[in-house]
Every structure is written in C-alpha cells, then in structure tokens.
Amino acid sequence: MLTLLHNAFLCTGLPGGFYPDGALLIRGSKIIWAGALADLPPQSEPVRRQDVGGRVIIPGLINTHAHGGLSTHRGCCDEGDLFQWAAALAPHTSHLTVEDNRRGCYLAIMEMARNGITTACDCTRYGAGVFASVATEIGMRSLSGALVNSPELRHHGRPNWPLALEETKEAIEAHIGNGLARFYLGGHSPYSCTPALLREVKREADKLDLPFVIHVAENRRENEMVMEQYGQSPTAWLHGLGVLDRRSVLAHCVWVDEADMDILAETGAGVAHNPGSNAKLASGIAPVPALRRLGIPVGLGTDSTLSNNCLDLFQEMKLSVLLQRAASLDGTIVGAGDAFSMATLEGARVLNWETEIGSLEVGKEADLVILDLSHPLGLNPERVHSDLVYHAGPQHVHGVMVAGRMIFEDGRLLTVDEPTIRHAIHEHYRHQ
Ligand SMILES: [Zn+2]
C-alpha cells in the first residue's frame, strides 16, 4: 500500500522546490514521488490518500546538537558564562544516574517531536545507548552517544572511559536492523580530554566506522586555555592530533579564525551551530557566513535545556539570522533560505546522513513536518520561507512523520502515552 499526501503546499528543501498544489507518494519508509499533484503518474499499486488540508509540508528539522538527558534540570542555572555556568550546574548534574538520563531523554524527545524535529544528534556522559532507545520508542531518528572526558581534567562525576566504548558497542548490537538509530564516539572538549584520550577515542571510532563528536572553540577562555597549554588554537590542536575529518561533528566553533576555518574546510568536518545557547552563555556568535562561504557544512542545534532552554529549531533558525545581522549591521548577510537550509539539508550533511534525510526527494526517507501556516495574502514560496524562519513556531506544527510513520498529529504524540510519562517523571522529582 502506498500513501499519498496531497492538497499540500510542498516545500522540498531543494532549490526551487515549491509546489503550491503538491503531493508526496510514500512506500514504506521512503519517498517514491514528489511534485505537483497534476504531474503524478497513474499508480498500479493501491494508494491510501491523505488530504493534508492545504497545509505546508517541509522536511523534518534536524537538531545537530543536544543533551537530552539533562532535560529534567531545565533552567537550574540560568546565569553566568560557559565556565561559571558549568561550575554552578555540576553539583546538580554530575551525580545523575542512567535512569535520570532516561527520564530526561523522554522529556527532550517528546518536546523535539512536538516541535517538528525528526532527527537529533545527542550527547550524554553515561548511558550511551539511552537516547537511541527512547528515540526509537517514540519514533524519532537519532545519532547519539557519549562524550568522554579525562578525570584528571574534569573532576566532577565518575570516569566514563572506556565505559562509553562498551556502552556504545552494546547499543550498536541492540539496534542492528534499526534504521532510526546511529551512534558515534566523542570527546567532551579539548580542555577536558588529554591528547592521549582524544587519539584513543578517535582510533576506536574509526575502527567501528563511527563519527566523532566534540565541543570546540565554544568560549574565548577555552581558546586561551588551550593556547596556554598547547600553544595552538583548539581547532589547530585537534587537527594536529588527527581527530578532524569529514566524519567529525564539531559543536559551537564560535572562536575560529581564518586559519582554523581553513583547517575545517580542508578536513571536511561539519559544524553544529547553537546560536541560542552561545548567546545565553555569553560565548559569542559563530562566524557562520564565513564558514559556509568556505563550503563547511553548518547545521543548527538547540544544545540542552540548561543552556537554551527550549528544544525549538524555529527559534534557532530565527536567531541564526538575527544575531548575524545585529552583530554585522548587514541586513543581507544571511537570510531565511540560509537558516532553513541549515535546519534541514545542511544539518543532514553535518551528520553525514544527507543521502537519506534533509530534503523531500525520491529515494530519501519520508521524514517531514506538516505545518498549519496561512498568510493574509496567500502562501507563495517567498512567504513560506519568510514564515518558516521569522514567524512560525511549534504552535504551527500539525503533524510529524519519521520514516513514513506519523508520530505526532493534532496536538498528540501517537507512539507513547505522553501525559502518563510526564506525570511519572514529575512525581519522581517532586520532592527534590
Ligand atoms: Zn553540548
């Protein structure tokens, strides 16, 4: 049985990919046809027709940086720069158990699914497989794992290497045949991992054919610390260690100079840009226009609910434009099309998943969002782009599909009993 989504304003995420009377034909998890309904060829297989009521269909949003497990502690430390904030929250988060992580992941993934996020790259400290198991239950796609650190450099909490390697291997084993879940190995940052640990983690990632994830050049003080200790910028230091290549996902990259950007372009590493988190933690504004001019893929990330505090890529799209314009005094430096691309296809490139997700085209996975957008002057491609980035929010999300399966519709998650899960989590923490 095929599924035909029709009566849609289809926005494929490809250049010029707007179809005011659009339709999308899906077989199993995949898109087998997309375009104007009038051009749809006759089908020999039975078709289940689903009228989307003139709503807008866009590719599922891709969150390239998150820490879902921390969602239980939303807003527990709202002041201070990165290092002040990290010191203030350590007493709250360093003792968290894998079960706490699981509760946080439920809250984060339910919020992301409601907000039109169909794929997330998630980081934890312990329980490398937890995010993927919860995301799979809810029906969301994930690239997840643990960021390890060296106990002598990061004193709070228990050591997590080689624990993370064992957990990751177990998770890979447990998810064989699950097309929704992918895994990585990562290090927390250049200042919390020794060079020997970073080399070892990257070596194990290569052995297992996994991506490598790390926070890089998030805060100016980080650059000063790495410069004092190793005589190089964090980016150059990591490059010298041999951990940067096209399978590397680098969160933040706020403090990168031209030489650093050349390294990123040369190695093929991707950047997860978190404009809301970077602004809240007084980290600065990543040089996204310069990065993208060099062909470096840049995706958008929410980061955690401790540094953001919501998992909403509509907000990040808007901030990604507004902050650049406010800082550069150039009203054309980035536009809605750039922000939308970063939240979809470019985000997929950052995660090395662009052959399967990021746009609505034949052969790709049917990961999409159905939006209740309307415009007093009527919808056209320009107004849809404009509304997506400057006007829309989670309140406009009507439906979310991942791999051909609706997981959210009309205000309700279809895959899990959200009110019961929320109630149990709130009860658990009520007296803390
Ligand atoms: Zn992070």
- CATH code, 79: 3.20.20.140
CA of 351 to the centre of ligand 1 (A): 15
Residues 40 and 70 in one domain: no
Residue 426, domain member (yes or no): no
CA of 387 to the centre of ligand 1 (A): 28
Residues 52 and 68 in one domain: no
Residue 421, domain member (yes or no): no
> What number is the average pLDDT over the span 260-283?
98
**pLDDT of res. 181:** 98
pLDDT at 156 over 80: no
Phi, psi of 322 (to 5 degrees): -60, -45
**pLDDT of res. 81:** 96
CA of 330 to the centre of ligand 1 (A): 29
Residue 76, domain member (yes or no): yes
> Using CA atoms, how far apart are residues 338 and 317, in angstroms rounded to an integer?
9
Instruction: Kindly tell me the number of DSSP H helices and DSSP E strands found in the chain.
Output: 15, 18
Residues 8 and 55 in one domain: yes
Residue 422, domain member (yes or no): no
Residues 183 and 330 in one domain: yes
Residues 189 and 229 in one domain: yes
Return the CATH number at 407.
2.30.40.10
Residues 173 and 190 in one domain: yes
Kindly report the average pLDDT of the chain as a whole number.
Answer: 97
CB 212 within 8 A of CB 184: yes
CA of 307 to the centre of ligand 1 (A): 9
335 Rama sector, left if φ>0, alpha if ψ -120 to 50, beta otherwise: beta
pLDDT at 85 over 80: yes
> Using CA atoms, how far apart are residues 376 and 360, in angstroms rounded to an integer?
27
Residues 216 and 171 in one domain: yes
Residue 293, domain member (yes or no): yes
Nearest to 11 by CA among 20, 3, 409: 20
DSSP strand E in 210-281: where?
212-216, 248-252, 270-273
Residue 49, domain member (yes or no): yes
Residues 11 and 119 in one domain: no
How many domains does the structure of the chain reveal? 2
CA of 65 to the centre of ligand 1 (A): 6
CA of 261 to the centre of ligand 1 (A): 20
Decide which of 350, 368, 388 is a domain's last residue. 350
Residues 50 and 68 in one domain: no
pLDDT digits (tens, 9 = 90+) for 309-350: 999 999 999 999 999 999 999 999 999 999 999 999 999 999
Residue 418, domain member (yes or no): no
CA of 363 to the centre of ligand 1 (A): 32
Segments forming the whole domain that contains residue 123: 61-350
Q: How confident is the model at residue 108 (pLDDT cuts 50, 70, 90)?
A: very high
Strand, helix or coil at 30? Answer: strand
Tell me how crowded residue 83 is: count the other CB atoms within 10 A of its CB: 15
Residues 6+ apart with CB under 8 A from 207: none
pLDDT at 431 over 80: no
- Token pair of 244 as six digits: 């940067």
Instruction: Please state which of the ranges 151-155, 256-260, 266-270 shows the lowest mean pLDDT.
Output: 151-155
CA of 215 to the centre of ligand 1 (A): 6
Query: What's the one-letter identity of residue 175?
Result: H
Residues 104 and 179 in one domain: yes
Residue 432, domain member (yes or no): no
Between the two ends of the chain, the Cα-to-Cα distance in Å is 50
Residues 233 and 181 in one domain: yes
CA of 169 to the centre of ligand 1 (A): 22
28 Rama sector, left if φ>0, alpha if ψ -120 to 50, beta otherwise: left
Tell me what percent of the residues of the chain surpass a pLDDT of 90: 96
CA of 323 to the centre of ligand 1 (A): 20
Nearest to 118 by CA among 179, 69, 188: 179
CA of 274 to the centre of ligand 1 (A): 9
> What number is the average pLDDT over the span 215-235?
97
Nearest to 36 by CA among 7, 1, 3, 16: 7
pLDDT at 284 over 90: yes
CA of 304 to the centre of ligand 1 (A): 7
Residues 49 and 177 in one domain: no
pLDDT digits (tens, 9 = 90+) for 354-413: 999 999 999 999 999 999 999 999 999 999 999 999 999 999 999 999 999 999 999 999
CA of 213 to the centre of ligand 1 (A): 10
CA of 67 to the centre of ligand 1 (A): 6
Query: Cis bond leading into 46, ω under 30°?
Result: no
